[in-house]
């Protein structure tokens, strides 16, 4: 049986100041040897300072351009993120897909850029509310997986985050049965494409209103290997509760 080490990943989105680095120092102090991997993805200007803390909390970007460099004002490449000290990058977050019209192919290109720079690609997928209500959640996510994950994905270079869009920042969470159904489906899809030996090494995060209060039950769900956390990653007290829950799962 493949053992997948749990991962607690935080996405600060467009929040925080340099003073918020104290939250990372607090996490590093509280969890000198956590039983799960821990990554925080702050706004890009904070990456260097966060990486310089050199604790167990690893640092990631929230997005990257597909190109290594060039005339793309305001964008950040995977290579620049790596140079700043990042070890991972989120690609295909639903806010990027919605706000910037990112297609599965765009996400696929960005994931390949992450690999090129030696970063772990955290590839996000998830249905919107109407798609779930219509009974199409599995087929929508299946299509996103097929289009967004490049050939060559392994557990070393890729993590998948299932984030139902209607659960992000809303306090709404799917039933544990629905999370299990989706994560089992994703495992089956990747097994068909990559074979069991590879598919079983790829970690699946659940994301959408994860809190210290519901993390333990979510981490106990079939094929849930951790969480991608927005709001509850901003404060060490909250994220620490989620790290602790992952460690106990």
Annotated active-site positions, please? Answer: 93, 163
Smaller CB distance to ligand PEP: residue 108 or 209? 209
| CA gap 227, 245 in Å, rounded | 10
Q: How far is the CB of 168 from ligand PEP (least distance, A)?
A: 4
Residue with the CB atom nearest ligand PEP in the bound state: 230
Smaller CB distance to ligand PEP: residue 37 or 163? 163
Q: Which residues here bind ligand PEP, judged by CB under 6 A?
A: 11, 163, 168-169, 207-210, 228-232
Q: How far is the CB of 151 from ligand PEP (least distance, A)?
A: 26
User: Nearest-CA neighbor of 202 among 216, 218, 188?
Assistant: 188
Q: How far is the CB of 81 from ligand PEP (least distance, A)?
A: 18
- DSSP reduced 3-state for 41: strand
Opening angle at CA 79, ends 197 and 65, nearest 5 = 85
- DSSP reduced 3-state for 60: strand
Percent of the chain as helix, strand, coil, to the nearest 5 = 45, 15, 40
Q: What is the chain's alpha carbon radius of gyration, rounded to the nearest angstrom? A: 17
Question: How do beta strands 158-162 and 58-61 pair?
Answer: unpaired
Q: How far is the CB of 211 from ligand PEP (least distance, A)?
A: 8
Which one-letter DSSP state was computed for residue 239?
Answer: H
Q: How far is CA 26 from CA 37, 40, 101, 175, in A?
A: 16, 13, 36, 32
Q: How far is the CB of 206 from ligand PEP (least distance, A)?
A: 9
Q: Which H or E run contains 161?
A: strand 158-162
> What are φ and ψ of residue 171, in 5° steps?
85, -5
How many other CB atoms sit within 10 Å of the CB of residue 237?
Answer: 13
| CA gap 149, 46 in Å, rounded | 28
Smaller CB distance to ligand PEP: residue 149 or 215? 215
Q: How far is the CB of 7 from ligand PEP (least distance, A)?
A: 13
Smaller CB distance to ligand PEP: residue 45 or 169? 169
């Amino acid at each position: 049986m493949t053992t997948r080490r749990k991962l607690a990943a935080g996405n600060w989105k467009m929040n925080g100041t340099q003073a918020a680095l104290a939250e990372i120092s607090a996490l590093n102090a509280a969890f000198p040897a956590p039983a799960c991997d821990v990554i925080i993805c702050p706004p890009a200007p904070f990456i260097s300072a966060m990486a310089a803390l050199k604790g167990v909390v690893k640092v990631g970007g929230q997005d990257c351009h597909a190109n290594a460099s060039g005339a793309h004002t305001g964008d950040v490449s995977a290579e620049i993120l790596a140079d700043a000290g990042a070890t991972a990058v989120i690609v295909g977050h639903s806010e990027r897909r919605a706000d910037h019209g990112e297609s599965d192919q765009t996400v696929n290109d960005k994931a390949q850029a992450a690999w090129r720079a030696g970063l772990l690609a955290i590839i996000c997928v998830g249905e919107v509310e109407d798609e779930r209500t219509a009974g199409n959640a599995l087929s929508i996510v299946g299509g996103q997986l097929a289009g967004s994950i490049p050939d060559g994905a392994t557990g070393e270079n890729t993590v998948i985050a299932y984030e139902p869009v209607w659960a992000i920042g809303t306090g709404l969470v799917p039933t544990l049965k629905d999370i299990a159904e989706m994560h089992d489906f994703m495992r089956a899809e990747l097994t068909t494409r990559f074979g069991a030996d590879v598919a079983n090494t790829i970690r699946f995060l659940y994301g959408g209103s994860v809190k210290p209060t519901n993390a333990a039950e979510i981490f106990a769900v079939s094929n849930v290997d951790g969480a991608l956390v927005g709001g509850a990653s901003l404060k060490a007290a909250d994220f620490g509760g989620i790290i602790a829950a992952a460690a106990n799962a």
